[in-house]
Structure 1
Amino acid sequence: MAVASTHSDTDVERVVKYTASVDVEKRAVAEAHLINTTVRNISWKGATVTVKDRETKLPKNIIENVEGIVEAGEICALMGPSGCGKTTLLNMLASRPPPTTSQKTEGSVLVNGSTPSRAAFREMTRFVEQDDALIGSLTVRETLAFASRLASTSALPRRERIARIDGLLDSFGLREQADALIGTPLRKGVSGGQKRRVGVASQLITSPKILFLDEPTSGLDSAASWEVVNYLKGVAKRNNLIVIASIHQPSSSTFNLFDKLLLLSAGKPHYFGPVAAVTAHYESLGHEVPLHVNPAEFLLELVNIDFAAHRAEASQRLGQLQAAWTASPRAKDLAAAVADVEAAAGGRGAAVVAQVDDVAERKPSMPSLVLTLIHRSFVKSYRDVVAYGIRLAMYTGLAIMMGTVWLRLDADQASIIPLTNAIFFGSAFMSFMAVAYCPAYLEDYFQFVKEKHNGLYGATELIISNFFIGIPYLFLISIVFSSISYWLSNFQPTATAFFTWVFWLFLDLLAAEGLVVFMTSLFPTFVISLALVAFANGLWMSVDGFMVQPTILNVFYKYVFHYWDYQKYVFENMMVNEFADRVYACARTGPGEGDCMWQTDLADQCLIRGQGVLDQYGYEPGYMGKDVGIMMGIIVGYRIAAWIVLKLKK
């Protein structure tokens, strides 16, 4: 190809590595893509983030006038004391939405000297969280494979995607762990350092040009930290990748792996430039790094005044250090370099943006994304017992307990109240125990947050896939529970009545799981979501018609909660299913005589028509179709409510 001679040897290595198994024509297309979307640098100037001070209510800068430039193949560290604004600056550089509407940002972030569109910037960048969300029941290879399928790489031939995955496994030293699980609370997986490498590799599968990492070494020992950063450095050099990582108190060996350093304190820049030159800068200011002392620790102590004995003096010294940096030749050279990049960009930066926008158009379709998410959730569901395995075991135990407590109830009036109690218990507690789904959905939620920020998919795909993956498992749970408890308790012994019971129990579980998804999306904290789901189910149990009959229920609860309580429709139709077509014997007081607790038209035969029981609740048969429609509306309504919550959340 004529254009091939214009790019670097590193680009050639990338093309060869990822397209070795592709035919010549497809290889040429892939090579042209890599060439035309080469990112040479990222720069920022005047980066300022302002929030409203909680005490004074006045604007307060948490990041102030920060500049920097990082070239392709370089790895840059954002370092500073806790609370200095590292993560805030990283989020701004990554164009992530602010956590609150009161947070305002100023300044510009340029790629090749030009401002890319939001879609283009998303396509060329990836962000790795401090606590990177990974699905523990997937293997390392599956994690990369699903990341590939959710991204624009799904448009590539399957062999090329596999080649990319294999290349990343080799690049990050994960070949031997390729088939190992990430790890769940119940099943041990890969180590912490390997998990961090998997998190980074899963973002690199889409061949981004810029990678942002928030505390990639947090929680790791010095050896594992060095390992992670060393792999990052190698990948950046080989692939002309730009890496910007916030980091807290690295070891000296890890610190020296970085090419550039941006040192912050109180939101202001104190140094930007080569790591190798930072000690010379501070020596020129009279702060020499002592022998045998980690330079990173020395710098952090120097710009940290949180624990200073004399805070006023320390603040004054910190201000002098910051002013010295602003007036330094290196700071002036940095400002000139950023300006030169922007001035020299011309149309070249815009060309990159146009190329990336073309790639963005080849993203997977919504049906393709939904199917991929369903596939991933299916793998998780049968491997991770927390998802449905524990619930199935729990419901099976509940069925055995219910069936043996309400054991073989006779068709007489003494069994009517126990049968009513059993109907309530079977429906209400099946719904209540759906709280066990909270931890499994939380894992999906945090995975969604990460992948949404990286532009892979949105709330629609998550809600649809989550709904469909639950259907077969909830139906299986309904069948297993009913097969045990229904016949042991001796409910109406007909196949039609049995499958009607199963159907309503299935709708009950669908609605209950929808409630869990809605509440957990609204408050994605385990304890809070668990408490809210439990409270909501307690409310539904109180007003569903069993505790207080609908005919005498308080007007407020009847019209505010009762009619959109899904347990109400389940309990009502299970009662109709049991009593509408069944007859019960009265207590015999003598030959041909009996004492009937419910007076119906069969009293002269010492029998009770089941409708007499239903009359106390105001229930009539013949409304099943309408009630099914209402239940479907409630089930879909919970999912739509969860979708709205996810769409509105930033």
Structure 2
Amino acid sequence: MDHQEMADVESQNLETPPDVFLKGKHQVTLKFDDVVYKIKTKKGGLLAKKRETVVKEILKGVTGVVEPGEMLAMLGPSGSGKTTLLTALGGRLGGKLHGSITYNGEAFSNDMKRNTGFVTQDDVLYPHLTVLETLVFTALLRLPKSVTKEKKVEHAKGVIDQLGLTMCKDSIVGSPYLRGVSGGERKRVSIAQELLINPSLLFLDEPTSGLDSTTAQRIVSTLWELACGGRTVVMTIHQPSSRLYYMFHKVLLLSEGNTLYFGKGSEAIEYFSNFGYAPSLAMNPSDFLLDLANGIYTDEFNADHTIDKQKLISVCKVNCVAQSKPALKGIYDSGKDQNRLQEKDSEKWPTNWGQQFLVLLRRDVKERRHESFSVLRVCQVLVVALISGLLWYKSDISHLQDQIGLLFFISGFWGFFPLFQAIFTFPQELTMLQKERSSGMYRLSSYFMSRVVADLPMELVLPTIFLFITYWMAGLKANVVNFMYTLLSLLLNVLTAQGLGLALGACVMDQKAATTLASVIMLCFLLAGGFYVQHVPNFIAWIKYISISYYTYQLFIGSQYSYGETYPCLTGQCSIVEFPSIKQIGVHFGLHDQLMAALGLLIMLIVYRLIAYIALMRIGVTKN
């Protein structure tokens, strides 16, 4: 049986009438005409005298059209521009993009975004949430507020049944380091997230990557059924099996950004045979096409020959593109008669700010509880608290230097600890944030506030436990007022240090670099805090005014000692105000001075979080 006969058989097996498209949804015809994408790169190493800027063309005039009920597969070797083109078609590519990309004859819009699903190659999912929780939270955020919560949950369960995820719905998603559902099930969860909005247009980047042939077949069959239901499906795929290949209604073959073929998948072999390139034996059509895209042709004697790809590119521009032009023109001309996506919904977001905040907060708490109160972290705090309590056990005012050393140690430890925990917050979630924001799921402000609030239990409970153990063991003032004063000062210090960590993580977005920078900054703050160096030169003394440790140290001193209090010294009893470690930093025990120290921390707490928020807005997170 030759390739054309195989294609005919497969087509007959797959030909079923399209399902009725879900009520209220519009069908979308996607067309792209002469799409060109260029990027600028630097030529020459870091030591080169002059680095030349080179413009590289990733896409070189790609043209095609996909209609409702069709599934387009983009084939090509690595670096051929498949993912770049998919990203451009999905409205997610910035930069110098030229050409025309329209949806029912119109440009990409917010309403189109809400009717578009985009499945990335890597499954970006929260590992500790179950399959059901993942889809329910997505439904609560992406479905319009006019739909009740009960209906959203019911819809999520319906999608689970549709994609065959019922058996694993209560299993956690997992990650490479956490055992969860299988790779195929994880991929279906990613697809299910996009199907929740019943998209008119569905994009998928390598949906079968890393999966066995049976699982890949199941996923592509599901996508084929979705296409036959009236959706427009576009995917990139590297090397599909012959069973998968004949499911594709259309195929776009790319090579170094150029189009080698665009048309029906069943007609690709015949097309290249007309130019003298025919497979010498029965083989997977995708393997044959990829060989041609790589510039290799195997003849009947099983010998490899290098082919002239430029000739194929030129022929394709004349034939394939010429065939597409009338279709493109016809779609454009008849656009007014189609069911276009109208901008009826003037609201930019599917849910309001409060709903977004509450849903995101619940999701963050569920996901982060395993990390925030992990056994390792709790044990770390308990061990340090016990060791500190034992080292400073029953240290009274006769050991004033020791007590002050304990207070400064507490401010240092609870400066570093929350700082390094917060640094990893945004770098670890950047991919998830970009994915969800690009689909118009929620505001950046609602995400930021929910993320900050979700961390509060860990940030507040653990230092409280630490101080409760150390404070009474170390013999600090056994008074509820003094304890609460110390505790509030410690919590303010923790929240300020956390804000610094969030700001550094958001600004740098490189965990190693951010950690190094944080260590340098915090050490400078400690050295300028007034405990280690008591005679700081004037030209560098200004550092103390931006030091978290300096203000916390002042508050701690004020929480334990008061004006007029004395301590044992060589001359008998000396005023606490004259003790070197207290005198040098200029601690005044008046209410005004204590409030100024607290105000300094409060200002930094707010400023650092504002810096983190602004940094998130500027790092490439899609702006909506």
Q: Would you say same fold, with TM above 0.5? A: yes
Question: Where does residue 533 of structure 1 map in the other structure?
Answer: 518
Deviation beyond 6 Å, 4+ runs, structure 1:
313-316
Shift of 1:386: 5.5
Shift of 1:454: 0.8
**2:588 pairs with 1:616:** no
Change (3 A) 1:184 1:320: closer
Question: Where does residue 401 of structure 1 map in the other structure?
Answer: 387
| Matched AA of 2:36 | T
Change (3 A) 1:582 1:245: farther
Contact 2:118 2:194 in 1 (8 A): yes
Question: Where does residue 364 of structure 2 map in the other structure?
Answer: 377
SS in 1 for 2:495: helix
C-alpha separation in 2, matches of 1:556 and 1:365: 51
**2:33 pairs with 1:45:** yes
Question: Where does residue 297 of structure 1 map in the other structure?
Answer: 287
C-alpha separation in 1, matches of 2:401 and 2:248: 74
Change (3 A) 1:58 1:584: same
Contact 2:477 2:560 in 1 (8 A): yes
Change (3 A) 1:49 1:343: same
C-alpha separation in 2, matches of 1:120 and 1:627: 50
C-alpha separation in 2, matches of 1:555 and 1:364: 54
Change (3 A) 1:303 1:465: same
Question: Where does residue 603 of structure 2 map in the other structure?
Answer: 633
Question: Where does residue 506 of structure 2 map in the other structure?
Answer: 521
C-alpha separation in 2, matches of 1:218 and 1:53: 29
C-alpha separation in 2, matches of 1:221 and 1:610: 74
C-alpha separation in 1, matches of 2:328 and 2:105: 8
Contact 1:141 1:165 in 2 (8 A): yes
**2:545 pairs with 1:545:** no
SS in 1 for 2:343: helix
- Which structure 2 residues correspond to residues 274-423 of structure 1 after superposition, within 5 A? 274-304=264-294, 317-328=308-319, 330-346=320-336, 348=338, 351-355=340-344, 357-358=345-346, 360-361=347-348, 363-382=350-369, 384-385=370-371, 390-412=376-398, 415-423=399-407
Question: Where does residue 200 of structure 1 map in the other structure?
Answer: 191
- Which structure 2 residues correspond to residues 453-602 of structure 1 after superposition, within 5 A? 453-549=438-534, 552-559=535-542, 561-580=543-562, 585-586=567-568, 595-596=569-570
**2:435 pairs with 1:424:** no
Question: Where does residue 222 of structure 1 map in the other structure?
Answer: 213
**2:46 pairs with 1:76:** no
Shift of 1:440: 5.0
C-alpha separation in 1, matches of 2:216 and 2:539: 60
- Which structure 2 residues correspond to residues 25-64 of structure 1 after superposition, within 5 A? 31=23, 33-34=24-25, 38-55=26-43, 57-64=53-60
Shift of 1:396: 2.1
Shift of 1:475: 1.5
Q: Give the structure-2-normalised TM-score.
A: 0.87
Question: Where does residue 591 of structure 1 map in the other structure?
Answer: none
Shift of 1:385: 2.5
Change (3 A) 1:527 1:256: farther
Change (3 A) 1:632 1:67: same
| Matched AA of 2:429 | D
C-alpha separation in 1, matches of 2:18 and 2:250: 23
Contact 2:258 2:313 in 1 (8 A): yes
C-alpha separation in 1, matches of 2:509 and 2:211: 26
Question: Where does residue 5 of structure 1 map in the other structure?
Answer: none
C-alpha separation in 2, matches of 1:362 and 1:458: 8
**2:112 pairs with 1:121:** yes
C-alpha separation in 1, matches of 2:564 and 2:120: 60
Contact 2:566 2:576 in 1 (8 A): yes
Change (3 A) 1:529 1:157: same
Q: Give the structure-1-normalised TM-score.
A: 0.84
Shift of 1:95: 1.5
Change (3 A) 1:581 1:48: same
C-alpha separation in 1, matches of 2:472 and 2:145: 50
Shift of 1:114: 2.5
Contact 2:373 2:458 in 1 (8 A): no
Shift of 1:585: 4.9
| Matched AA of 1:375 | R
SS in 2 for 1:334: helix
| Matched AA of 1:634 | M
SS in 2 for 1:618: coil
C-alpha separation in 2, matches of 1:520 and 1:371: 24
CA distances 1:20-55 after superposition (whole Å, capped 9, x unpaired): xxxxxxxxxxx4x33xxx123111111111223433
C-alpha separation in 1, matches of 2:480 and 2:540: 36
C-alpha separation in 2, matches of 1:320 and 1:386: 60
Contact 1:76 1:261 in 2 (8 A): yes
C-alpha separation in 2, matches of 1:578 and 1:229: 69
Shift of 1:546: 2.4
SS in 1 for 2:584: helix
Shift of 1:61: 2.0
| Matched AA of 1:612 | E
Contact 1:140 1:178 in 2 (8 A): yes
CA distances 1:569-609 after superposition (whole Å, capped 9, x unpaired): 112211222233695653xxxxxxxx52xxxxxx5xx2343
C-alpha separation in 1, matches of 2:515 and 2:246: 46
Change (3 A) 1:163 1:418: same
Contact 1:386 1:440 in 2 (8 A): no
Change (3 A) 1:110 1:547: same
Contact 1:583 1:607 in 2 (8 A): no
Contact 1:152 1:362 in 2 (8 A): no
Shift of 1:63: 0.6
Shift of 1:377: 0.8
Structure with the bigger percentage of helix: 1
CA distances 1:614-639 after superposition (whole Å, capped 9, x unpaired): 21321112222222222122111111
C-alpha separation in 2, matches of 1:643 and 1:42: 36
SS in 1 for 2:64: strand
Change (3 A) 1:192 1:112: same
| Matched AA of 1:286 | G
Q: 2:103 aligns with which of 80, 94, 111?
A: 111
- Which structure 2 residues correspond to residues 113-152 of structure 1 after superposition, within 5 A? 113-116=105-108, 118-152=109-143
C-alpha separation in 2, matches of 1:262 and 1:386: 47
Identity %: 25
Shift of 1:168: 0.9
